[in-house]
Amino acid sequence: MTEAPRTAFIYSERYQHFDYGPGHPLRIERLALTYELCRAYGLLDLPTTRLIEARDATEDEIVAFHRSDYLDVFRASERGNPPPNLWDYGLGTSDNPTFPGMYAWSLLSTGASLQAMELVDSGEVECAFNIAGGLHHAAAARAAGFCYFNDAAVVIKHLLRRGRRVAYVDIDAHHGDGVQFGFYETDGVLTISIHESGETLFPGTGFAEEIGRGRGIGHAVNVPLLAGSDDEVFLWALDQVVPPLLTAFNPDVVVTQLGADTHRTDPLTNLAMTTTGFAEAVRRLQPLCRRWIALGGGGYNLENVPRSWTLAWATMNAREVPDEMPGSFLTAFQRLGFRATRLRDDPTPVEAATREQAWRFVREQVHRIQRLVFPHHGL
């Protein structure tokens, strides 16, 4: 029997002190639900697992990626003194509202990702998971898409300073634009994003022709998918692109963004995946990640996120868990109005015409990547 990997789950009850506001799609309650479901399965009490209290990032750590003028505006906004050019920094919008504690929330969620990095890079654990991370849209001086600090980019900057080669794999329904463009001109980072096409979804980027610039040519990889793409389409795309490129690039550390908004019922996206397909995607990533920093990401249906991330955490620990959710969790889950009782979804058929179009499109995209990117890696 394969020895279970040493892992760390980064969490804090302080996450629940923050709220983007009524009606905002990003509900921080999803983090507590995930923690409670993992705990109900006994996945936080495994002999090879450590439960780590999240820490705050320092401003010195944040400015490894983010500009100091952005931090100044961010702090002033939270204190009720927003400058007149607030919107130039992406703050005060419906996506990125100013709310009490937003600066503290951003320091905490980023600090948790830095803890994951420290544990993995030091060799203390092989895999660390920060479910509050994966806020991949923020740029160096601009908030975007519910993301204030780009914790993944901050982590990658620190890894580069340590001389590490880093691969970043993003399976969120939205393109990982903030991370891609943050490292668009370097060959020390390989970014791969599989997502719904920018033709139909924010942020409107992530096309196969975006392959990097200068020294970074061939080190940005994008697999856009048509709306309606299901588990089989997504997993085929992953298999065709991710294993060969990660093997050729041979990173010291892999950072994954595991957004759960690819689900067919997510209110903000248009893909057609299930929790079963999501779990399989994570299972296929695992053997490619010798040192693995796993981050959360999107997911706007509270019924799906804890099920998806619990399946991911079980995979990270090489554990099989019963499909029927524990009664201790299920009672509270159903009290919130949720109907799911099992972790994995039943297969959901996609209309034949939609499926055919999705397959035709993904094959075209993969062939384009193989032509534009693979030769830069000797493939």
- Judge contact between 291 and 126, C-beta under 8 A: yes
- Judge contact between 218 and 264, C-beta under 8 A: no
d(CA 356, CA 67): 45
**Residue 175 annotated to the active site:** yes
User: At 211, is the secondary structure helix, strand, or coil?
Assistant: coil
The count of C-alpha atoms lying within 13 angstroms of the C-alpha of 46, restricted to the half-sphere facing its C-beta, is 22
H and E: helices and strands count for the chain:
11, 8
Strands 166-170 and 253-257: parallel
Element (H, E) at 24: none
- Judge contact between 133 and 299, C-beta under 8 A: no
Beta strands across the sheet bearing 166-170: 49-53, 7-11, 127-130, 292-295, 253-257, 166-170, 189-196, 220-225
Q: Cite the beta strand spans of the chain per DSSP E.
A: 7-11, 49-53, 127-130, 166-170, 189-196, 220-225, 253-257, 292-295
User: At 125, is the secondary structure helix, strand, or coil?
Assistant: coil
- Judge contact between 249 and 190, C-beta under 8 A: yes
d(CA 369, CA 363): 10
Q: Cite the beta strand spans of 150-272 per DSSP E.
A: 166-170, 189-196, 220-225, 253-257
| Catalytically annotated residue among 136, 158, 175, 376 | 175
Active-site residues, by number, are 175
